[in-house]
Amino acid sequence: MNAPDPIFQTDFIKEMVRQLRALDSYGSWDGQPNEKLLEPLILTKERKAEIPIIGDPDEETLARVKAFYNAIATLIEKECGLMATPFIHLSHEGFGRALIIVGKLVAVDKTLRDVHRFGFESLSKMKTEADKLLAVALERIGAYPEVAGL
């Protein structure tokens, strides 16, 4: 029997699962394992090749993008004790920005493109990207605490 992957014990992956489960207002994912819940976010090279280069993001993909940035915002709040608010602005073609605002400070500013192909090669790569964004946000909050506290 395989031991559970330790990545599922990390704060970020636990929060991603919480965020994705919160989107399930009808309970259709109840009883589904966390691996299955996170599976649509994993785009191997083969899966990515199946998605057309040009396309409009569907509602499920947009929900996963929002869950990713909501999870980061929640971890920012947990780390610094200040409310972090994510804003996602996208055109219908899947281009735009993701911002996480803490007080009056833009803690995260990420340009988004080709959102219909949003995903990561592995859970580890997704966590690494989230960790980078979290580190930048916490560094900015530390550098400008008076702005973050407004």
The encoded tokens of residue 32 equal: 């589904």
- In the chain, where the domains are located: 7-148
Judged on CB neighbours under 10 Å (0-12, 13-18, 19+), 45 is exposed
pTM for the full predicted model? 0.92
Q: Alpha-carbon distance 70 to 113, whole Å? A: 18
Q: Of 102, 119, 99, which Cα lies nearest the Cα of 46?
A: 119
2-43 pLDDT, tens digit per residue, is 667 899 999 999 999 999 999 888 888 888 999 999 999 999
CATH 2.40.110.10: does it fit domain 7-148? no
* CA pair distance 138, 144, nearest whole angstrom: 10
Q: CA dist 115 to 9, 42, 88, Å?
A: 27, 14, 11
Give the model confidence (pLDDT) of 108-125 as tens digits. Answer: 999 999 999 999 999 999
